[in-house]
C-alpha cells in the first residue's frame, strides 16, 4: 500500500517532465527530419546542376546514409537503454550539424558520400527510433497516445521543411542552404534535447554495463523475433517503394502529372488519417492480429493499384488507402517490440528488429524503379510489391506474441 502511494507520487512529480519531453520531441523531430532527410530530395536538382555529379551517384550517397542509420541503430539502442535519450539525442543533433556542414563543404563526390554516411549515424541518434524509445520507456502502458502525437508531429516535417528548403534554394546556392539548415538543427534541437529530456530514466540505476544485451539475447535469437524482423522488412520495402514510385506508375497508366501528384498528396493525407486511426485498431485487435490485418490491407491496396486501370478517382482512393497503411505502419514499427516483449530493453530490441527494415527503406526508392524496368511495367512491379507485403503478413501469422526476457513484463509496463 505504501509502495503504491509512493509510486503514484513519483508519477505525479514526473508528469510535468514527461509533458515537456513530449513537447520538445515533437519540435525536434520536425527539425531533425526536415534537415537530415527531407532537405535532400528538394535540393537534389540544385546539387547535381551545380556540381555535375550524376544523379544516381548523388542519390546513392544519400541511400548510404540511410543504411548507415540502420546499422548504427543497434549500438545507439544499447546506449539508449543504458543512459537514456538526453545525451544520446543531444549528441545526435550536434553530429547532425557537423554532417550537414560536411555535406555543404564537400569538394567532391567521395567527401559528399562520407558526409551522408556521417549524417546517417546522426539520424540513428535523433530521428524516430530514439524518440520512440524514450516515450515508450517513460510512458510504459500509456505509451500509445504520446507515440501517436509524436508521429503526427513528425509527419509535418516535409510540410514545413520542403517549402523552406525550396525558398532558400530560390535565393541561395545549395551549399549555403545546407549551412543554414545545419545552424537551425544546432540551435533548436540540441538545446531542446539537452534541457527538456531530463525525466528520470526507468531502470538506469539497476543496470550494470553489459547486462542489457545479456537480458535480451534469448529474444533476439528466437524464431519469433526473426519472423517479426523479416515481416517488418518486407512491409517497409513494399510500402515505401509503392508510395515513392506512385507518380511514375500513374503516368505510365496514362494519367497526367498533375493527377499523379494529387494522388501522392492524398497518399500523404492517408498517412495522417492512418496514424489517427491506429489507436482504434489497437483496441479491436490483438498484437499479432493487428500486424496481420495491417499488412494484408497493404497488400490489397497495392494489388488494387496494380490490377485496376482506372478511373482516376478510384486509383486516388486506393493510393489514399495505401498511405493510411503506411501511416499506421510507422506506429506498428514503434510498438511491435514493446507489445510483444515489454518496454525494458526496448531500444536495444527495437534496433535489432527494425535494422532490416531500415536497410529496406534505403533501397526502396530504387527497388520499385528496378522492378518496373525488369518487368517492363509499373503495374507488374506493384504486383510483386503486393506479394511481398502479403508474404510479410504470412510471416507475422507465424510470429506469436513473444516471450518475456528476464526482468521484462509481458504486459508491456517494463516491470520494476
* Residue 409 pLDDT exceeds 80: no
> CB-based contacts of 23: which residues, under 8 Å, 6+ apart?
196
CA distances from 381 to 37, 314, 371 (A): 26, 19, 5
Which pLDDT band holds residue 3 (cuts at 50, 70, 90)? very low
Higher pLDDT, 164 or 210: 164
Rounded to two decimals, the pTM is 0.80
Higher pLDDT, 311 or 216: 311
- In terms of average pLDDT, the best of 267-276, 293-302, 373-382 is 293-302
- Check if the beta carbon of residue 240 is closer than 8 Å to that of residue 364: yes
Which pLDDT band holds residue 156 (cuts at 50, 70, 90)? confident
Higher pLDDT, 228 or 162: 228
- 303: how many CB neighbours lie within 10 A of its CB? 18
- Check if the beta carbon of residue 100 is closer than 8 Å to that of residue 182: yes
User: Given this model, what pLDDT does residue 244 score?
Assistant: 77
Grid cell, residue 64, equals 548510404
- In terms of average pLDDT, the best of 50-59, 181-190, 217-226 is 181-190
- CATH 1.20.1250.20 domain span(s) along the chain: 2-197, 213-397
* Residue 394 pLDDT exceeds 70: yes
User: Given this model, what pLDDT does residue 126 score?
Assistant: 95
Which pLDDT band holds residue 408 (cuts at 50, 70, 90)? very low
User: Given this model, what pLDDT does residue 402 score?
Assistant: 47
Q: Give the integer Cα–Cα distance in Å for 176 and 138.
A: 39
Lowest model confidence (mean pLDDT) among 218-227, 242-251, 290-299? 242-251
* Residue 303 pLDDT exceeds 90: yes
- Check if the beta carbon of residue 202 is closer than 8 Å to that of residue 94: no
User: Given this model, what pLDDT does residue 104 score?
Assistant: 96
Which pLDDT band holds residue 388 (cuts at 50, 70, 90)? very high
| Mean of all residue pLDDT scores within the chain | 85
Which pLDDT band holds residue 414 (cuts at 50, 70, 90)? very low
Instruction: Report the share of the chain in percent with pLDDT over 90.
Output: 39
Q: Which CATH class name applies to 2-197?
A: mainly alpha
User: Given this model, what pLDDT does residue 216 score?
Assistant: 78
* Residue 267 pLDDT exceeds 90: no
Mean pLDDT for 193-222 is 73
* Residue 266 pLDDT exceeds 70: yes
Q: Give the integer Cα–Cα distance in Å for 76 and 74.
A: 5
- Check if the beta carbon of residue 271 is closer than 8 Å to that of residue 323: yes
For residue 377, the SS3 value is coil
Reported as a single tens digit per residue, the pLDDT across 340-387 is: 888 878 888 888 988 898 888 888 877 887 888 888 888 998 999 999
User: Given this model, what pLDDT does residue 375 score?
Assistant: 86
* Residue 8 pLDDT exceeds 80: no
Which pLDDT band holds residue 405 (cuts at 50, 70, 90)? very low
The H or E element containing residue 36 is none
Domain 213-397 CATH assignment equals 3.40.50.300: no
* Residue 188 pLDDT exceeds 70: yes
Amino acid at each position: 500500500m505504501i509502495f503504491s502511494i509512493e509510486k503514484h507520487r513519483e508519477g505525479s512529480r514526473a508528469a510535468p517532465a514527461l509533458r515537456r519531453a513530449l513537447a520538445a520531441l515533437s519540435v525536434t523531430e520536425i527539425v531533425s527530419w526536415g534537415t537530415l532527410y527531407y532537405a535532400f530530395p528538394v535540393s537534389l536538382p540544385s546539387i547535381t546542376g551545380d556540381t555535375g555529379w550524376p544523379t544516381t551517384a548523388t542519390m546513392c550517397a544519400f541511400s548510404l546514409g540511410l543504411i548507415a542509420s540502420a546499422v548504427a541503430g543497434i549500438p545507439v539502442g544499447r546506449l539508449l537503454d543504458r543512459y537514456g535519450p538526453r545525451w544520446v539525442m543531444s549528441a545526435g543533433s550536434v553530429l547532425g550539424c557537423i554532417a550537414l556542414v560536411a555535406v555543404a563543404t564537400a569538394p567532391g563526390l567521395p567527401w559528399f558520400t562520407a558526409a551522408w554516411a556521417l549524417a546517417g549515424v546522426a539520424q540513428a541518434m535523433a530521428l524516430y527510433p530514439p524518440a520512440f524509445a524514450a516515450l515508450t520507456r517513460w510512458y510504459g502502458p500509456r505509451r500509445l497516445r504520446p507515440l501517436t502525437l509524436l508521429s503526427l508531429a513528425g509527419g509535418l516535417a516535409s510540410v514545413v521543411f520542403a517549402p523552406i528548403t525550396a525558398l532558400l534554394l530560390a535565393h541561395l546556392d545549395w551549399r549555403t542552404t545546407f549551412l543554414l539548415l545545419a545552424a537551425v538543427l544546432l540551435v533548436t534541437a540540441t538545446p531542446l534535447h539537452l534541457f527538456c529530456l531530463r525525466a528520470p530514466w526507468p531502470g538506469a540505476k539497476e543496470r550494470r554495463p553489459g547486462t542489457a544485451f545479456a537480458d535480451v539475447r534469448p529474444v533476439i535469437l528466437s524464431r519469433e523475433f526473426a519472423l517479426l524482423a523479416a515481416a517488418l522488412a518486407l512491409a517497409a520495402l513494399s510500402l515505401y517503394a509503392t508510395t515513392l514510385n506512385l507518380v511514375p506508375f500513374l503516368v505510365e497508366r496514362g494519367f497526367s502529372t498533375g493527377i499523379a501528384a494529387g494522388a501522392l498528396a492524398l497518399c500523404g493525407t492517408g498517412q495522417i488519417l492512418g496514424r489517427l486511426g491506429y489507436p482504434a485498431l489497437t483496441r479491436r485487435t490483438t498484437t499479432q492480429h493487428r500486424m496481420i490485418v495491417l499488412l494484408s490491407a497493404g497488400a490489397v491496396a497495392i494489388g488494387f493499384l496494380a490490377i485496376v486501370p482506372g478511373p482516376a478517382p478510384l486509383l486516388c482512393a486506393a493510393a489514399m488507402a495505401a498511405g493510411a497503411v503506411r501511416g499506421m505502419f510507422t506506429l506498428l514499427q514503434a510498438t511491435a517490440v514493446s507489445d510483444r516483449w515489454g518496454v525494458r530493453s526496448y531500444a536495444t530490441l527495437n534496433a535489432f528488429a527494425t535494422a532490416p527494415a531500415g536497410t529496406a527503406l534505403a533501397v526502396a526508392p530504387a527497388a520499385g524503379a528496378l522492378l518496373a524496368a525488369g518487368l517492363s511495367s509499373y503495374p507488374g512491379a506493384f504486383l510483386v510489391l503486393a506479394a511481398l507485403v502479403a508474404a510479410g503478413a504470412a510471416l507475422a501469422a507465424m510470429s506469436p506474441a513473444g516471450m518475456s526476457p528476464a526482468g521484462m513484463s509481458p504486459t508491456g509496463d517494463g516491470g520494476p
